[in-house]
């Protein structure tokens, strides 16, 4: 077995000076790797030995956003979370039909890829005017689903929408209501929303039941394609004036201050 060799830190070679910081000299690193060296390096500033790597939350503050209730923890999902949940997507979860469809893949893998591409789309297209936060939901330390909170023209309209799904084992335990209540707390009590809307097929009694238990009222319906047919999508709305009277779990919010510029609220 070939012994492992280490390059050490940035000052020992394999790096060059650019824009006042030491950055990898990839050509040099490839040459060393070809000779059997395993290369480890860190980037340092040109002003000394302080490590200037930025953590994930420093680059994208949403990764530090967390909502805690007595039953569940919601945090902005990472790629690892999405991949971890991809194999547990319930059969009744309808994916966005605008997502790419890749031929030659078995359906479970295609659905998993679609879920990941949807995540990338949401993160990559984020603006203060149009955003969608996919929260990974944990119960007893296990990922059980996702809860999305989204705002369109939010700085002007202050209206949010929600969507969610749970693995089969987590259903019927009040988790769906708990995680919806958590993001509504974020929307109304932290971001200043004036209304929250939701929609579900007329026969999705679980989703409609969660909405009504949290104070939503009927707001008409829309006709949408559903497979080969057209069906009714029931619309629901909850306004900020009704929210204080709703019986709901206590929610602790962490990491929001650094995220406010992303919502146009700094």
Contact yes or no for 188/210 (Cβ under 8 A): no
Share of the chain above pLDDT 90, in %: 62
pTM across the whole model = 0.77
Which one is the CATH code of 58-263: 3.40.50.720, 3.30.465.10, 3.40.50.1820, 3.40.630.30? 3.40.630.30
User: What mean pLDDT is predicted for residues 49-76?
Assistant: 87
Domain boundaries, the chain: 1-53, 58-263
User: What mean pLDDT is predicted for residues 142-171?
Assistant: 95
**Residue 29, pLDDT score:** 47
User: Residue 10: pLDDT above 50?
Assistant: no
**Residue 184, pLDDT score:** 98
**Residue 30, pLDDT score:** 54
**Residue 38, pLDDT score:** 53
User: Residue 41: pLDDT above 50?
Assistant: no
User: What mean pLDDT is predicted for residues 138-161?
Assistant: 96
**Residue 24, pLDDT score:** 52
| Residue-wise DSSP of the chain | -PPP----SGGGSSEEEETTEEEE-HHHHHHHHHTTPPP----BBTTSS-B-PPPHHHHSGGGG-EEE-SS-EEEE--HHHHHHHHTT--TTPPPPTTS---TT--HHHHHHHHHHHHHHHHHHT--SSEEEEEEEEEETTEEEEEEEEEEESHHHH-EEEEEEEE-GGGTTTTHHHHHHHHHHHIIIIIS--SEEEEEEETT-HHHHHHHHHTT-EEEEEEEEEETTEEEEEEEEEEETTTGGGS-----EEES-GGGGGGGT--
The pLDDT tens digits for 73-108 are 999 999 999 999 988 888 778 777 777 788 888 877
**Residue 34, pLDDT score:** 55
Higher pLDDT, 228 or 100: 228
Q: What average pLDDT is seen over the chain?
A: 84
Confidence of residue 45 (pLDDT cuts 50, 70, 90): very low
The pLDDT tens digits for 248-266 are 999 999 999 999 999 999 8
């Amino acid at each position: 077995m070939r012994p492992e060799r280490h390059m050490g830190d940035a000052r020992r070679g394999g790096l060059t000076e650019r824009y006042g910081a030491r950055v990898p000299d990839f050509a040099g690193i490839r040459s060393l790797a070809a000779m059997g060296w395993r290369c480890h390096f860190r980037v340092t500033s040109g002003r000394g030995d302080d490590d200037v790597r930025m953590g994930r939350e420093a680059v994208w503050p949403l990764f530090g956003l967390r909502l805690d209730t007595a039953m569940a923890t919601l945090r902005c999902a990472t790629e690892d979370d999405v991949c971890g949940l991809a194999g547990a997507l319930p059969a009744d979860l309808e994916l966005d039909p605008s997502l790419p469809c890749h031929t030659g893949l078995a359906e479970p893998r295609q659905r998993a890829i679609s879920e990941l591409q949807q995540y990338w789309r949401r993160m990559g297209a984020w603006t203060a005017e149009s955003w969608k936060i996919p929260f990974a939901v944990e119960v007893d330390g296990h990922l059980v689903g996702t809860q999305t909170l989204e705002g369109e023209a939010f700085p002007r309209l202050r209206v949010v929408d929600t969507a969610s799904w749970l693995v089969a084992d987590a259903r019927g335990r009040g988790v769906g209501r708990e995680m919806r209540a958590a993001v509504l707390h974020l929307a109304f009590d932290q971001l200043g929303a004036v209304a929250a809307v939701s929609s579900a097929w007329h026969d999705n009694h679980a989703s409609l039941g969660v909405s009504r238990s949290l104070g939503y009222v009927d707001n008409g319906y829309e006709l949408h394609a559903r497979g080969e047919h057209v069906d009714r999508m029931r619309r629901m709305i909850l306004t900020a004036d009704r929210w204080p009277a709703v019986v709901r779990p206590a929610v602790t919010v962490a990491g929001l201050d650094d995220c406010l510029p992303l919502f146009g609220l700094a």
